[in-house]
């Protein structure tokens, strides 16, 4: 492994620190994504209001089959909770909701219903958005990797995240990063496969995925579903070339916690491979990097505890790290 590649884009720890401008830009990107994710909920609320407005009173909701699912949501019954309830439980919850919140609203029961519906949906959106930063980060890395492959004239294929089918890559397809679980290319005639969010079987804390895993194997040898997963190359320590942690959260208040989580994960990875006398390259990509953690990351780079690191919000650093990955 090469421990000096990080010097292509880093001269000091200060280079890793996320600027105020990049933090602001990141918050704007998250806000826009949140609005995009909220569109289905807003559309549902508009339909709910139109249909409920045709009723004369809130009591009619009890016998309206069409609005019953939305009424359950407004009453605070999540999809998960709904699977544990009987019909009698659901009816009791809806009855209490109408009596306590909709009837007292009188003629304004429709607005109260829609407000309550959006309140519960908003809570669901909040949970969904906690994963959005990670998804946006993966998309950015994917596009940077594809750009590096395209510039160097390398063909690639990508793993569709829902079907887990490998598809021949098209550098001009603007939507690949929205559906990608992995990428494949060749380096000097040898296969390279990058997989996102993979549970490495022999690394501790089972259930904690490694954000980025690079393999020296063919796509067909990575089996993520079905009866043959035990034969997958991701169970073979020697097949790993690099493993990295990717933290896309932009909030400075959570930056230190992101790094602590990543540092702990990288430590577990290093220990697991060291026991097998294997030393794959370890790296870190983060969006929110503050001065203190930048010092620690750079110290680890200089001590050769990790091979590479970059600030996700700085295009030159991201592109340099992706070029390094493609070249391994």
Using one digit for the tens of pLDDT, what is the confidence trace for 200-257? 998 866 557 899 999 999 999 999 988 788 899 999 999 999 999 999 999 998 889 9
Largest Cα–Cα distance of the chain, in whole Å? 74
Average pLDDT over residues 65-92: 88
Unique residue bearing structure tokens 């993966």: 138
| Structural tokens at position 17 | 């620190």
- Sequence ranges of the domains in the chain: 5-33+131-327, 53-129
Distance of CA 31 to the CA centre of its chain: 16
Question: Is the pLDDT score of 63 beyond 90?
Answer: no
Tell me how far apart the alpha carbons of residues 17 and 130 are, in angstroms, rounded to a whole number.
23
State which fold the 53-129 domain adopts: Recoverin; domain 1 (1.10.238)
**To the nearest 10°, the Cα dihedral for 198, 16, 137, 201?**
0
Residue 188 Ramachandran class (φ > 0 left, ψ -120 to 50 alpha, else beta): left
pLDDT at 205: 61
As a whole number, the mean pLDDT across the chain is 91
pLDDT of residue 130: 65
Written out in words, the top-level CATH class of the domain with range 5-33+131-327 is alpha beta
Residue 37 pLDDT class (50, 70, 90 cuts): confident
Confidence (pLDDT) at 265: 93
Compute the C-alpha angle 289/305/189, nearest 5°: 100
Contact 262, 247 (CB under 8 A): yes
| Gap between the terminal Cα atoms of the chain | 8
Q: How confident is the model at residue 80 (pLDDT cuts 50, 70, 90)?
A: confident
Mean pLDDT calculated for residue range 93-106: 92
> Taking a C-beta distance cutoff of 8 angstroms, is the pair 183, 157 a contact?
yes
Report helix, strand or coil for 106: helix
Q: pLDDT value at position 309?
A: 97
Determine what percent of the chain is predicted with pLDDT higher than 90: 69
């Amino acid at each position: 492994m090469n421990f000096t590649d990080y010097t292509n884009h880093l001269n000091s720890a200060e280079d890793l620190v996320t600027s105020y401008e990049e933090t602001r830009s990141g918050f704007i990107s998250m806000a826009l994504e949140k609005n995009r994710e909220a569109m289905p909920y807003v559309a549902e609320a508009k339909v709910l209001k139109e249909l409920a407005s045709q009723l004369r009173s809130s009591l009619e909701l009890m016998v309206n089959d069409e609005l019953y699912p939305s009424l359950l949501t407004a009453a605070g019954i999540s999809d998960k909770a709904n699977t544990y309830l009987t019909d009698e439980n659901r009816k009791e919850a809806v009855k209490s909701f109408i009596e306590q919140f909709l009837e007292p609203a009188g003629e304004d029961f429709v607005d109260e219903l829609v407000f309550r519906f959006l309140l519960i949906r908003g809570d669901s959106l909040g949970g969904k958005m906690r994963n959005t930063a990670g998804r946006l980060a993966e998309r950015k890395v994917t596009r940077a990797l594809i750009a590096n492959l395209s510039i160097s004239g390398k063909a690639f294929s990508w793993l569709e995240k829902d079907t887990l089918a490998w598809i021949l890559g098209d550098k001009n397809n603007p939507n690949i990063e929205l559906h990608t679980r992995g990428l494949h290319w060749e380096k000097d005639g040898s296969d390279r496969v990058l997989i996102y969010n993979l549970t490495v079987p022999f690394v501790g804390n089972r259930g904690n995925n490694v954000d980025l895993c690079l393999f020296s194997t063919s796509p067909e040898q990575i089996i993520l579903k079905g009866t043959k997963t035990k034969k997958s190359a991701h169970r073979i320590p020697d097949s790993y070339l690099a493993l990295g942690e990717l933290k896309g959260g932009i909030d400075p208040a959570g930056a230190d916690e992101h790094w602590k989580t990543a540092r702990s994960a990288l430590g577990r990875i290093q220990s697991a491979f060291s026991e097998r006398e294997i030393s794959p390259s370890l790296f870190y990509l983060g969006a929110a990097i503050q001065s203190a953690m930048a010092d620690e990351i750079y110290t680890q780079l200089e001590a050769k505890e990790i091979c590479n690191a970059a600030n996700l919000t700085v295009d030159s650093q991201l592109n340099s790290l992706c070029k390094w990955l493609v070249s391994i």
